[in-house]
Amino acid sequence: MQASRARLFKEYKEVQREKAVDPDIQLVCDDSNIFKWTALIKGPTETPYEGGVFQLAFSVPEQYPLQPPQVRFLTKIFHPNVHFKTGEICLDILKNAWSPAWTLQSVCRAIIALMAHPEPDSPLNCDSGNLLRSGDIRGFQSMARMYTRLAASPKKG
């Protein structure tokens, strides 16, 4: 557990240093628990998620970085690889392809890449996956855009 704390503290310092370097990711550690983090990620450009800001919750195990963090969307998102109700993310690096070389910041980058390049063949959201698999790109994009506007658009005023 001491090694995981040291690693997370190091990542925390890097996040503070890199804030201006990666404006699409805002990673924040819980004040009272270094094993709980949240992130705000911007929807990738030229996707139905563009203009949206999505909140992620990280639960980091005490065996980190030997085990991956649990990450889920807190913001509703219409995406084939994200469970609509729970926010669970189907991404290989969060399961069997995890490596201790990954950081919480690089996990956020991988999730943004997944948003831009969905994998409809391993869906957690079957409605979304079926639209893409059947070739209804317009239907998928309009649903994804609608949920982005409803759930992930910054409030004005």
Supply the residues annotated as catalytic: 90
Report how far residue 57's alpha carbon sits from residue 120's, in angstroms, rounded to the nearest whole number: 23
- CA dist 116 and 27 (Å) reads 20
Burial of 82 from C-beta contacts in 10 A (0-12 / 13-18 / 19+): buried
Residue type, 144: A
d(C-alpha 128, C-alpha 121), whole Å: 11
Question: Hunting for tokens 């409605």 — which residue is that?
Answer: 127
Length of the chain: 157
